[in-house]
Structure 1
Amino acid sequence: MTDAPHLLIAWHSRTGGSEALADAAARGAATARLIAADAVTPADLHAAAGYLFVGPENLAALSGAMKEMFDRCYYPCLGRLEGRPYATIICAGSDGANAQRQLDRIATGWRLKRVADPVIVNTAAQTPEAICASKTIPAARLAEARDLGAALAEGLASGIF
């Protein structure tokens, strides 16, 4: 990795949907660091110039693993990330709005600046079997994630954000 400003893509996935979206975003953002939520440290957040948070909606809320990452890193990062850009991708079985709202409230506490509209990928998984099944994300939605990753990385590299 170079010393250029980099994008941190922090993700969690239980059934593969969010992981596929995070991977696609990382392919678009060649200089991004892709780190699973349970491995993200405050130092990773401090070192990054911007963030893409990718996670699933679980029980109409942000997944526990994503929430735990924020719980673990929140206070060590408080007052140290203000103004940095962020974007989000939520992989949802229904509308994903509450998970998105929770993530935005956390980002507001860190004083991050949203630089792209929220992306919510609705898999329409509504039965126990569909909810627990491995997810296949449509190519168009993966391309959207790739393009978001590319745009965030380019915005950081060019100093737009």
Structure 2
Amino acid sequence: MKKLLIVAHAPSPNTLKLRDAAARGACHDDIENVSVTVKAPLDAGPEDVMTCDAILLGTTENLGYMSGALKDFFDRSYYPVLEEKQGLPCALYIRAGHDGTGTRRAVETIVTGLRWNWVQDPLVLKGAWQDAFEDQLEEMGMYLAAGLDAGIF
């Protein structure tokens, strides 16, 4: 059984909908050999990363940067997983009130240092809330889990 870890900051009802949509997609009925764990960044740590086969990161855009909670997750996890988890398949979504550029750059810099492997481009959900954001996250979660299930990554 492969393990997908979703670490997502969800401080509002809308960001909780996004996190839940990603998990819903990852748990699609056609995906049989993937277990999904969903954790808030402050509840996740290096032990979770060490036992997963892929990771989906989610954050809000906070003052042009990732959430403090996701930064804290990276601060606690970076060195303990650095050598063991190189090549970890990963993806990112950002709920951005503006353009998400600084947030994306910050997370990409850390992921580059960890030598994780992007399996798709970061998804930046910009501007006012749109119900279509949930569909995009459900698809992203499904893509990651299906890729694990099929042995693609």
Q: Distance in 2 between matches of 1:16 and 1:97?
A: 23
CA shift for structure 1 position 19: 2.4
Measured against aligned partners, the alpha-carbon deviations of 1:47-106 in whole angstroms (never above 9, x if no partner) come to: 110010001010011111110110011111111111111000000110011101111111
C-alpha distance 52-11 of structure 1, shift in aligned 2 (>3 A): same
For structure 1, the residue ranges without an aligned partner over 5 or more in a row are 125-136
Say which SS state the counterpart of residue 42 (structure 2) adopts: helix
Residue identity matched to 1:102: A
For residue 89 of structure 1, what is the amino acid of its counterpart?
Y
Alignment pair present for 1:10 and 2:7: yes
SS state at 2:10 partner: coil
Q: CA deviation at 1:115?
A: 0.6
- In 2, Cα distance between the equivalents of 1:144 and 1:32? 18
SS of residue in 2 equivalent to 1:117 = coil
Matches within 5 A, 1:91-110: 91-110=95-114
Instruction: State the match for 2:149 in structure 1.
Output: 157
> How many residues are paired up?
146
SS in 2 for 1:61: coil
| 1:26–1:34 CA contact under 8 A, matched in 2 | yes
Amino acid at match of 2:99: D
- Distance change in 2, residues 1:97/1:16 (3 Å): farther
Question: 1:17·1:91 contact (CA, 8 Å) conserved in 2?
Answer: no
TM-score if structure 2 supplies the norm length? 0.91
Aligned-pair identity (%)? 38
- For the aligned residue pairs, the C-alpha RMSD in angstroms reads 1.2
Query: Mind listing any 5+ residue stretches in structure 2 that lack a counterpart?
Result: 28-34
Shift of 1:150: 0.5
Name the amino acid aligned to 2:104: Q
Q: Does the 8 A contact of 2:50 with 2:81 survive in 1?
A: yes
Matched ranges for 1:85-124 at <5 A: 85-124=89-128
SS in 2 for 1:32: strand
Task: Give TM-score, length-normalised by structure 1.
Answer: 0.86
